[in-house]
Amino acid sequence: MKPLIVLIVSFAISILAIKIIKKEYDFTLSARIAMAIMLVFTAIGHFVFTKGMKMMIPDFIPFKESCVHFTGIFEIIMAVGLLIPKYQSLSGWALIIFLLLMLPANIYASVHQINYQTGTFDGHGLVYLWFRIPLQLLFITWTYISTIRM
């Protein structure tokens, strides 16, 4: 829920700031700025909630802590890439693939009731998927519209 709030608030602020600065609306730029801010916000979680995020990775995957840190760094790189015109399309495709690859981790966490913030097994469970899957699809669509289909 927090990433969605960050995305929407950042989008609204970006729209207003760009309107004031450029004297016109630029919704795709505002959308990319908002997605970049949201990615930095979620990337911070990879370093603050490492223990819980490691729990979201199935046991057969090695180097869990490194994976969590790598994905956090990747999110920051994608955030920067979305804001550089030369790299926005490449970053958009990479982010879409990343979001698709992260969905199984979210499903795994829900099935095992993992609370990534506390690193415990008292999470929301399968009910969370009713929110998370549409949210992931929103992020994918948002990325596609603001970076690829311009």
Q: What is the pLDDT along the chain (150 residues), one digit of tens a residue?
A: 899 999 999 999 999 999 999 999 999 999 999 999 999 999 999 999 999 999 999 889 999 999 999 999 999 999 999 999 999 999 999 999 999 999 988 888 889 999 888 888 988 888 888 888 999 999 999 999 999 875
| Per-residue CA distances from 19 to 5, 13, 14, 30, 97 (Å) | 21, 10, 8, 10, 32
pTM of the model: 0.92
For the CA atoms of 131, 136, 138, 141, what is the dihedral angle to 10 degrees?
A: -160
Helices (H), 23-128: 27-48, 50-55, 64-83, 88-111
First to last CA, the chain: 27
87/32 Cα distance (integer angstroms): 12
64/67 Cα distance (integer angstroms): 5
Closest CA to 54 of 44, 43, 68: 68
